[in-house]
Structures are given as structure tokens and as C-alpha cells.
């Protein structure tokens, strides 16, 4: 089975107002091993050199790199370089999925032993740091889930509703903007739209998880692909007992495919932030992030 190969460059730079004496960082910058993608090559350049580096997996099975810096520094640069092949995946017929009520009930505690897949899906039914379960989210998605609506069909309708009723606005929200405010303003970014769709599904008793990764963007006709013009992306996976996890991208109203590179998944953004940590010192600082996703045949030297 032939896929599409990409080169991904993800550069993060911190310039601190004051020296940082100690720091620890968690990096989700390696692509997750999946049935639909293969990582052909990967490298991580860190400056200054960390005093300790540990590569492991987090509780959700995502590759995780722990970095510790125990010497003073006034800047931090982390450069990830990846070559990833994304493979075609078969899309289920959303109309043939079980009714959403049946999927919801299968995730409820019954006092009987639960299959492993269902048990693992249950952790994605509840509130998480950025996602609350509210009646407002149930009401917003009511028209998408009438009685006996096939689960995946309802999820697809919900994806389209968010796409059509919300405006992408990079200046409208921040990382900590409450979802109820996003719902009221009808503006946000991919992180907000993914969180909103998950909140609508979980508030109905369904299991949904947050997926982070990269999306290939197409330059205008006749224009070159810009270095650093892309960004990290986010979408949603819904658990369907008959089909497993099925993904939806509410920002673009598409089912993720060959243009989506999967990095990690968790309950929400807080579980899979590309780079986060704690520092002693530093003063105020904001990261500069550049992401470029390029088909291998167009790839530029990474020098």
C-alpha cells in the first residue's frame, strides 16, 4: 500500500528576559506509531544541550521526551525533524454505525466485565483540564443527534455544524479561553473547535479524544510553499463500538486522511502540548514556533 511521504520541521525558540537557572520540559514531538503512518526518520536538536534526556511513552502511549536543564541559559531552541509516510485508511460508512444511544450505553458501567477496548475508551468520556461537561454543549449538538441517529453520522453532522457556524480567528482566543466563551463568540482556532466537538460528544455520554498533529496546507496557485507557514493542528476521534476510533476535523469539515500527520492523542491539549515545562527564572517570555510540512518530492534541505 503506497502512501504519501512528508518532511516535517517543527522549530520552537524561547528568548528569556532573564537567565533561567533550572528548567524541565516535556516534548511531544515524535509521531505516534499508527497503522496508517510510518516514521522513516527523526531527529531532535536542542540548544543548549540538556543535562538529562529521557525518551519514553506517556500514559496514552504517545512518544514523550523529557528534558532537564541544570545550567543557567537565556534562550532555548528545540528543532524536530521528521520524515513520515502517511498511508491510506479505509473510511467506514457513517450511516451503518450503531445508534448513538447504543454507543453511549455500551460505555456505561453495568457491573459486568467490560471488553478491554471499551474500558480504555471510557477514560475519554469525562471532564479534563480544558473540557467541561455542560448542558450548553448538549443543547448546541441536539440537532445532530436525534433519536436513533447513527453515531458516526451524527458526529459528521456535528463536524459540519461547527465548521459552518464558527469563524477561524487566530486572535479571538488563547490557550486558556473557556469553551463556553468560544461557544458564545463563535470564533476560535483548531484547538477550540476540537475541544468544542469533544465537549459536545462527552456531554452526551460518548467517548472522544483530542488528536494533535500536522496538516499539509496548499500554497496559492503558482506560489512556492512558505517555510514556517504551517502550524500544529488538532482534530477529534470518536469511539464507535463497531468501528473503533474514527477521526473528524471540524476546522476543515473533512475526515482526516493523507494530508494529516498524527503526532499524539489525549484527553485534551494539556495532555499533548508539543513543548511545555517549568522553569526557575526567565521573566516573561513567549515562544516563537515555526512548522513546515512538505511533501518529500518538494522537500528543501534542512541545513
The tens digit of pLDDT for each residue in 202-234 reads: 999 999 999 999 998 776 677 766 555 567 899
Residues 121 and 69 in one domain: no
Residues 8 and 119 in one domain: no
Residues 59 and 117 in one domain: no
In a domain, 119, yes or no: yes
Domain containing 29 equals 4-87+273-298
Of 63, 30, 27, 80, nearest to 302 (Cα)?
A: 80
Distance separating alpha carbons of residues 148 and 54, to the nearest angstrom: 48
In a domain, 125, yes or no: yes
Mean pLDDT by 10 residues, the chain (303 residues): 88 93 95 92 96 96 96 95 94 94 91 86 96 97 98 98 95 90 95 97 98 85 64 93 95 93 96 93 83 77 44
Angstrom distances, CA of residue 92 to CA of 125, 139, 237: 22, 27, 13
Residues 250 and 210 in one domain: yes
Distance separating alpha carbons of residues 195 and 234, to the nearest angstrom: 9
Distance separating alpha carbons of residues 79 and 65, to the nearest angstrom: 13
Residues 155 and 240 in one domain: yes
Residues 107 and 235 in one domain: yes
Q: Characterize 160-184 residue by residue with b for buried, 16 or more Cβ atoms within 10 angstroms of its Cβ, and e for exposed.
A: ebbbeebeeeeebbeeebebeebbe
Residues 122 and 242 in one domain: yes
Instruction: Answer whether 267's CB lies under 8 Å from 210's CB.
Output: yes
Angle between helix 151-165 and helix 190-202 axes, rounded to 10 deg: 140
The pLDDT assigned to 229 comes to 59
Residues 170 and 141 in one domain: yes
In a domain, 303, yes or no: no
The pLDDT assigned to 300 comes to 43
Residues 69 and 47 in one domain: yes
The pLDDT assigned to 287 comes to 86
Instruction: Answer whether 248's CB lies under 8 Å from 197's CB.
Output: yes
The pLDDT assigned to 228 comes to 53
Q: Characterize 205-216 residue by residue with b for buried, 16 or more Cβ atoms within 10 angstroms of its Cβ, and e for exposed.
A: bbbbbbbbbbbb
DSSP alpha helices (H): ranges in the chain?
100-106, 116-121, 135-140, 151-165, 179-185, 190-202, 269-272
Residues 215 and 168 in one domain: yes
- Give the distance, in angstroms, between the CA of residue 35 and the centroid of all CA atoms in the same chain: 17
Residues 211 and 286 in one domain: no
Number of domains in the chain: 2
CATH classification at residue 165: 3.10.620.30
The pLDDT assigned to 226 comes to 57
What beta strand segments (E) does the chain contain?
4-27, 37-47, 52-57, 63-69, 73-86, 167-168, 187-188, 208-215, 232-240, 244-248, 260-266, 275-281, 288-295
| Cell 468544542, located at residue | 196
Instruction: Answer whether 30's CB lies under 8 Å from 106's CB.
Output: no
Residues 30 and 175 in one domain: no
CATH classification at residue 28: 2.60.40.2250
Amino acid at each position: 500500500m503506497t502512501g504519501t511521504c512528508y518532511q516535517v520541521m517543527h522549530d520552537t525558540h524561547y528568548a528569556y528576559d532573564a537567565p533561567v537557572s533550572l528548567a524541565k520540559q516535556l516534548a511531544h514531538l515524535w509521531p505516534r506509531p499508527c497503522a496508517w503512518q510510518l516514521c522513516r526518520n527523526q531527529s531532535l536538536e536542542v540548544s543548549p544541550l540538556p543535562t538529562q534526556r529521557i525518551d519514553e511513552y506517556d500514559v496514552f502511549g504517545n512518544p514523550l521526551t523529557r528534558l532537564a536543564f541544570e545550567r543557567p541559559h537565556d534562550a532555548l531552541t528545540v528543532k524536530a525533524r521528521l520524515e513520515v509516510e502517511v498511508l491510506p485508511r479505509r473510511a467506514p460508512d457513517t450511516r451503518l454505525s450503531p445508534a448513538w444511544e447504543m454507543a453511549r450505553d455500551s460505555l456505561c458501567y453495568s457491573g459486568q466485565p467490560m471488553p478491554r477496548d471499551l474500558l480504555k475508551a471510557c477514560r475519554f468520556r469525562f471532564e479534563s483540564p480544558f473540557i467541561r461537561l455542560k448542558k450548553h454543549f448538549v443543547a448546541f449538538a441536539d440537532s445532530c443527534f436525534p433519536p436513533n441517529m447513527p453515531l458516526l453520522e451524527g458526529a459528521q453532522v456535528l463536524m459540519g455544524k461547527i465548521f459552518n457556524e464558527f469563524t477561524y480567528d487566530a486572535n479571538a482566543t488563547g490557550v486558556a479561553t473557556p469553551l463556553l466563551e468560544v461557544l458564545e463568540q463563535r470564533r476560535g482556532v483548531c484547538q477550540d473547535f476540537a475541544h468544542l466537538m469533544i465537549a459536545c460528544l462527552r456531554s452526551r455520554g460518548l467517548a472522544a479524544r483530542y488528536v494533535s498533529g500536522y496538516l499539509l496546507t496548499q500554497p496559492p496557485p503558482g506560489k512556492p510553499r512558505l517555510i514556517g507557514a504551517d502550524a500544529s493542528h488538532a482534530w477529534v476521534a470518536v469511539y464507535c463500538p463497531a468501528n473503533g476510533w474514527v477521526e473528524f476535523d471540524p476546522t476543515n469539515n473533512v475526515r482526516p486522511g493523507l494530508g494529516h500527520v498524527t503526532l499524539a492523542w489525549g484527553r485534551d491539549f494539556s495532555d499533548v502540548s508539543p513543548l511545555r515545562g517549568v522553569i526557575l527564572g526567565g521573566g516573561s517570555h513567549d515562544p516563537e514556533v515555526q512548522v513546515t510540512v512538505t511533501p518529500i518530492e518538494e522537500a528543501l534541505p534542512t541545513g
